[in-house]
Amino acid sequence: MWNTLYNWLDERLGLNDLYTNLLDRPEPLGNWWNTLGSASLFLFLLQGATGIFLTVYYTPSPDHAYDSIQYIMNDVAFGWLIRGIHHWGASLMVLVVFIHMLRVFVTASYKYPRELTWLVGIGLLLMTLGMGFTGYLLPWHQMAYWATTVGTQIAGSLPFLGDFVLKTLRGGPDLSALTLQRFFAAHIWILPAALVALIGAHLYLIIKHGESHFPDPED
Amino acid sequence: MNPETKQKINAKYERELQRGEFFWPDSIFKDVIVSLGIFLVLLLLATFVGVHDAPKADPSDTSYIPRPEWYFLFLFKFLALYGQIPVLGKIEWVATVVIPGLAIALLTLLPFIDKTPHRYYARRALPLAIMAILVLGIVLLTFLADVPTVAADGSSLLGTLQTLAGLVIPSLAYLAFIMFAYRARENAVRLISWTSLLAGVLMIGCTVATLALHQPAAAEAAEVPASLVDRIVAGQDLYSIHCVECHGEDGAVTTIEGVKGLEGKEIPPINGKDILYTLNDASLSEVIAYGRPDAGMNPFGKAYNPEGLTRSEIDYIVTFMRYSWDDRFEKPQIKPLFPPLAEGEVPSYAVHIQPIVKRYCISCHRPGKDSYNYFMDTYENILKSGDDSDSNVIAGDENSFLLQVIQGTPIPDTVNPGKDLIGVMPPKGHLKPDAIEAFRRWILMGMPETAEDAAGLTWPTPAATPKP
């Protein structure tokens, strides 16, 4: 019975091919440092899942953002847990992605033939920081408001283009409802979409070239 | 890279695969364990540490000191230190755009800059040393983020040490690395390793010295009321300070009495349906923040008054009004203002007196109010301020002015007979018997400040000293 079902699915989905190409791959001897990439992916998925839950109650407007988070924390069943995981997961994700980058740097895994994997990886690191920056404003509390004021000011210190960048980030000369709205859009649509695309490219390249081995004196 | 090198690299990788492991199940096993571990850590953090929120954003409160997420702190500190450099420090965009931009560009293009096929650590001393110093710098700057560059006493020692740790030593180390890499052919690796070790130790040393010298200011624990009860209590405390003079304790006042400039003004009661049913929370907040100029109500928001209320504080007052007077809302169980006194227990300032004073006295008895300069905002002020500071609170004396007036006995004016020097307090209404009893025990037993001070004292039971 199960065999029939499996064979039926295999003929149509190519399960056996998936198994040989994705799972049954030979790899160089790895150690615990090799788990940081998959840990980053896990954290991304966790942030995605908890983030989706949060958008059910969160309202991206200056009048309601703070109160909607108070509501999530105090009145929604397990809202505090979802928000807590999302809050701490963000910090941990920045940390894990950064250490993953350091590991790749130290073992020189960015060299031939994995140059593009590194390039995409730096894109992922910067987007993760972008997620942290945009997400920090969303609770609309004093710390968020003033940190973003200063953060966008720093981006606005760019010569010539500074004023344009500042107004693009804030949606005007000052932090306003528009700023919150576009940080929200960037945080839940623009950056995640770009992240998913880059993660896809990153994973394809890893499967294509395999994980690098730890260097020995021969290398 | 020539074809032979590529072939050599690929052949070596094949050999590594031969003596390697399989993605399933060997690698996946470790991946799953680490991911589960991370999930567990997050669960623990979310449950036992939680999220510490700040008060609601208030654009008019410009005194707030901004603080970014911890992983951006090192950039803030770097900017602060960079600003100390003479001349160059004035060109802000060098530090905000050029240096971070250059660092990101170098990191991105790394595979195209470092094109040698060598991967073994000993052959990559230069990039490893540069990265080690960079990461160490980031970590140390994060630790230093809260130390000011100029100490409170004006000495620049802290700033100098931080600049050494965060800018000077790393820059010198980088210069040395590059010089060794291109000049000292055979000894390069050894020299770079020793230099980075030396630079690292010096940087850590300067950081530790800075942290040891720096006396961190006692962190103001800005506790944000989380639960509904906490918010209602916070609102009631704020109402008792800012609103009670005109609107009265229960919000029912229709004619203002005893307030300079507003004497005899007719106002609508704010505890009835007329106000609470017609204005929603947002409108009530606006009224408090911006006032009712046509009706004589002052604006209480920070936008008009630097001493004013923040957005969050106004929200708490509105919550208090809703749950206390709006019959559509059910007020939750609220714990008493101070823990009831047990037989023989002596109250302390911290536990009993301060909450009472905050609720019933401080509205008038605070700096800026006409109250014969008697301020009740701190323990010291309650004992020692005011025009009659010698007679207001006397340890162990039933004739202390404070005790007289709260028990309904005005203090007669000795200069103008027939007039009162101090009327009964509070001027409208009176304290509840348990609050008066707390004041009596507190003053007669010598005004203990903390709960520990009070714990050593015992209030004689009624049997021992018959009360009048």
How near does any CA of chain B get to the CA of A114, in Å? 9
What 8-state DSSP symbol labels residue B225? P
CA distance B148 to B151: 6
Give tens-digit pLDDT for B149-193: 877 777 788 888 999 999 999 999 999 999 998 887 788 889 999
Least CA distance to B106: which residue of chain A? A122
pLDDT for B464 beyond 70 = no
pLDDT for B70 beyond 70 = yes
Phi–psi pair at B412, nearest 5 degrees: -70, 145
Which of the residues in chain A have pLDDT under 70? none
Q: Which residues of B touch A84 (CB under 8 A)?
A: 42, 45-47, 49-51
Exposed, middle or buried by CB within 10 Å (0-12, 13-18, 19+), for B93?
middle
Provide the ipTM: 0.94
User: Which comes out higher in pLDDT, residue B363 or B179?
Assistant: B179
Is A35-209 assigned to CATH 3.40.50.300?
Answer: no
Report yes or no: A103 at the B interface, CB cutoff 8 Å: no
Give tens-digit pLDDT for B108-140: 999 999 988 999 998 899 999 999 999 999 999
- Confidence class of residue B146 from pLDDT cuts 50, 70 and 90? confident
- Do A105 and B65 count as a contact with CB atoms less than 8 A apart? no
- Beta strand spans in B25-88 (E): none
Q: Which residues of B touch A146 (CB under 8 A)?
A: 64-67
Domain spans, chain A: 35-209
Question: Any residues with CB less than 8 A from the CB of B190 and at least 6 apart, and which?
Answer: none
- Do A30 and B30 count as a contact with CB atoms less than 8 A apart? yes
pLDDT in the model for residue B343: 79
Range in B165-179, B246-260, B271-285 with the lowest mean pLDDT: B246-260
CATH fold of the domain at B228-325: Cytochrome Bc1 Complex; Chain D, domain 2 (1.10.760)
Report yes or no: A59 at the B interface, CB cutoff 8 Å: no
Instruction: Enter the tokens of residue B84.
Output: 């100390």
Upstream peptide bond of A26 is cis (omega within 30 degrees of 0): no
pLDDT for B9 beyond 80 = yes
SS3 B422: strand
pLDDT in the model for residue B219: 61
Q: Which residues of B touch A124 (CB under 8 A)?
A: none
pLDDT in the model for residue B462: 61
pLDDT for B350 beyond 60 = yes
Report yes or no: A71 at the B interface, CB cutoff 8 Å: no
pLDDT in the model for residue B392: 82
CA distance B252 to B271: 6
The mean pLDDT value of chain B amounts to 86
Of A70, A67, A95, give the one whose Cα is nearest residue A83. Answer: A70
Element (H, E) at B21: strand B21-22
Number of helices (H) and strands (E), helices first, in chain B? 21, 3
- Confidence class of residue B221 from pLDDT cuts 50, 70 and 90? low
- The minimal CB distance from A140 to the residues B35, B51, B57 is found for B57
- The minimal CB distance from A141 to the residues B17, B31, B53 is found for B53
Give tens-digit pLDDT for A157-202: 888 899 999 999 999 999 999 999 999 999 999 999 999 999 999 9
